[in-house]
Structure 1
Amino acid sequence: MRSHHFIQLVDTYQVSVEEIVRLCAYKVTATMPRAISVKHTPGKPGQALYPAIGFGVPLLADGCGTVTDVGSGADASWIGKRVVLNPGTGWEEALEGPEDPRGYRILGGTKSNDIGTLQEYCAIDQNEVEEAPAHLSDVECAAIPLTGLTAWRAVMVKCGSHNLQPGKNILITGIGGGVALMALMFVTATGANAWVTSGDQAKIDQAVALGAKGGVIYKDKDWHSKLLKMLPKDNKKFDAIVDGAGADIVEKGAKLLKDGGIVSIYGMTVSPKMPFLMQAVLRNIEVKGSTMGSRKEFKDMVDFVKRSKSKPVVSRVVSGIENLDGINGLFDEMKKGSQFGKLVVEIGDQRQAKL
């Protein structure tokens, strides 16, 4: 069934265990959407620069909405509950990576997954939703799934619990982007010291207001030296670095990290290649690649947000699923990199956070 506002995309063998979710907000990355959010990808999906585009599949992967109906084999207690969607399938709980031989299949506008959240209604397996954090609004909930899951794995899984304690120093590069801000949110919630880099001093100041201990402009030639001088006397090295740019981060990391320190990399926006220096080998520095995460890690992340009462940063909200100019404007803003936080599309009536 497909219409302009009500879209149900299902596999016939799954329909009995699926639920219909009316989305209220989605990130420009989106479920019954009340809100959805926008995620940075290689160009706008509409520009045909995104891999394996499925032109009949709704765009976007994050969302928050309310369950309106369930299939005959689904749990009816979900009806009426506000939920967030797991932004990908094919990965249940293995620590190493997706178990499904087809690999990890992200939601939104691709041939590998027929579900996307830029729509008012979405049919999804009941096992792919979590009850939304009650302390967050629809827009805030929509900002969490994809970038939150990516940051969760990069920080909480890859950096290791031994490095996420009071007194430990974690560097988060490129603050202002969605994953980096989620990483800041998780690091500060553990009690570890979060430090940041950015090309914009205003973004560093905003990060400090959110709990970062300080930061430097990465465009400065000796930024790593300036950063080391800021560290507390009882720990003059970094325990881990969370990075999404790549390039010379291992070279810089060899100067910043303790022996055995970790570089957790969730992206390589500067270059698809990254040198690994002998200095890093001799100092036992570990470089760990990180992607999104498993279904188990998604649940762990949402549960952590609930317990810690963490709040994602939302940069701008556009109202209306038919507001194409406004939605395109979000993609343009993301391309420029001018935002600080998530970009969200609000579909229906906004539900406010519970205090």
Structure 2
Amino acid sequence: MKAITITQESEPIQLVDIDRPEVVSDECLVKISAAALNRRDQWIREGMYPGIQFGTVLGSDGCGVVGEGPAEWKGKEVIINPNVEWGDNPEVQSSKYSVLGMPTNGTLAEYINVPAHRLHEKPAHLSDEEAAALPLAGLTAFRATIKKGDAKAGKRVLVTGAGGGVSQFAIAFAVSSGADVYVTSGSNDKIDRVKEFGVKGGFNYKDEKWFKEAGQLGGFDVIIDSAGGNQLNNYLKIVKPAGRIVMYGSTTGYPEKVDVFRLFWSQVQIMGSTMGSDEEFGEMLDWVNKHQIKPTVDKVFDVGDYLQAFDRFKEPDSFGKIVVTF
């Protein structure tokens, strides 16, 4: 079968032929129809991810049809929960936690075998490409926005980096919660595009004084962020007293300093968040079905064009999830 693996070649990701996995005990064999890329896949390609194991099939997100396995699953269209060994504590992942695609073989292959308890029926209102875009980014955004951020009607929410896959799910969850949602982006075009999703307004973070304009709204109850870096002190200036800053990434690195006085005097909570528990994955799917949420798919590539798919991350106009079909 065809699969995209990480190698030690000059181009680290390669489309190769490997054996189809064998199914044992309670596993299911899923024929993948579509798989979405995540930033972690590109970071693995660039050698910027810890614990890289060469020969691993990449990919955490997938949609397909069950071929082999328990009778109740055969022939069903499914998506896969990418969590591996979250553990018993719903508040935090275990020390053994990982996600599909490193070190466990992932979804960027024609077939994958996973335990039956990792499967969920594909939301009926989604295409295969949309469903493939959902698991990792959707779960990350749901936990950050709804579970930790407590976004709901009557609250004002700021989602940073409006062009990314996770941030767009955060926007969708926050809007569907009834909150008033605003965004930041380095692109005015992207700000205009997310207004079509119900966003009230946005701020271009390339303007050094963007936070002053944002502060004129009266502050935010919740800020959902993946950038980190020196913007953290700007967030502290515009979050309401006793508000929450939920961080699920740090793409711009560490802040040079933190205004600790402002932090404790305003009673602000800075909260870390990553992925989510298996229970939250089910809750996320229920929310998606109830509110008929659809992922934003940037582009769909045939598996033979996998290098173009990965390179799409480098293009400034990318908007939403990148999907590969088999």
Same fold (TM over 0.5): yes
The correspondence for 1:77, drawn from 51, 72, 78, is 72
The correspondence for 2:124, drawn from 99, 122, 134, is 134
Which amino acid in the other structure matches residue 75 of structure 2? G
**Stretches of 4+ moved more than 4 A in 1?**
none
Any idea what SS the aligned residue of 1:170 has? strand
Which amino acid in the other structure matches residue 287 of structure 2? F
Corresponding residue for residue 93 of structure 2: 98
CA RMSD of superposed structures (Å) = 1.9
1:247 aligns with 2:226: no
Corresponding residue for residue 40 of structure 2: 41
The correspondence for 1:168, drawn from 155, 160, 183, is 155
1:211 aligns with 2:201: no
In structure 1, distance between residues paired with 2:256 and 2:283 = 31
| 8 Å contact kept, 2:157–2:221 | yes
User: CA distance change for structure 1 residues 219 and 47 in 2, over 3 Å: closer, same or farther?
Assistant: closer
The number of residue pairs the alignment matches comes to: 312
More displaced 10-residue stretch of structure 1: 133-142 or 330-339: 330-339
1:1-355 maps to which residues of 2 (within 5 A)? 4=17, 7-8=20-21, 15-27=24-36, 38-41=37-40, 43-70=42-69, 75-92=70-87, 94-99=89-94, 101-102=95-96, 104-108=97-101, 110-111=102-103, 113=104, 115-160=105-150, 164-229=151-216, 231=217, 236-273=218-255, 275-277=257-259, 278-319=261-302, 321=303, 323=304, 326-347=305-326
| 8 Å contact kept, 1:318–1:344 | yes
Shift of 1:42: 7.5
In structure 2, distance between residues paired with 1:308 and 1:66 = 24
Structure 2 stretches of 5 or more lacking a match?
3-15
| 8 Å contact kept, 2:41–2:58 | no
Which amino acid in the other structure matches residue 291 of structure 1? T
Which amino acid in the other structure matches residue 129 of structure 1? L
In structure 1, distance between residues paired with 2:241 and 2:214 = 18
In structure 1, distance between residues paired with 2:152 and 2:272 = 22
Which amino acid in the other structure matches residue 275 of structure 2? M
Q: Which has the higher contact order (CA 8 A, sep 6+)?
A: 1
Corresponding residue for residue 30 of structure 1: none
Shift of 1:219: 0.9
Shift of 1:53: 1.9
In structure 1, distance between residues paired with 2:280 and 2:22 = 26
Shift of 1:46: 3.8
Which amino acid in the other structure matches residue 303 of structure 1? D
In structure 1, distance between residues paired with 2:29 and 2:134 = 20
Corresponding residue for residue 353 of structure 1: none
Structure 1 stretches of 5 or more lacking a match?
28-37, 348-355
Shift of 1:272: 3.2
User: CA distance change for structure 1 residues 299 and 267 in 2, over 3 Å: closer, same or farther?
Assistant: same
More displaced 10-residue stretch of structure 1: 88-97 or 40-49: 40-49
User: CA distance change for structure 1 residues 126 and 269 in 2, over 3 Å: closer, same or farther?
Assistant: same
Tell me the percent identity: 38
| 8 Å contact kept, 1:149–1:292 | yes
Which amino acid in the other structure matches residue 293 of structure 1? G
Any idea what SS the aligned residue of 1:63 has? strand
Which amino acid in the other structure matches residue 142 of structure 1? A
| 8 Å contact kept, 2:35–2:61 | yes
User: CA distance change for structure 1 residues 81 and 6 in 2, over 3 Å: closer, same or farther?
Assistant: farther
In structure 1, distance between residues paired with 2:39 and 2:75 = 31
More displaced 10-residue stretch of structure 1: 44-53 or 261-270: 44-53
TM-superposition CA deviations, 1:177-217 (whole Å, max 9, x none): 01100100100010101100000000000010111100010
Which amino acid in the other structure matches residue 16 of structure 1? S
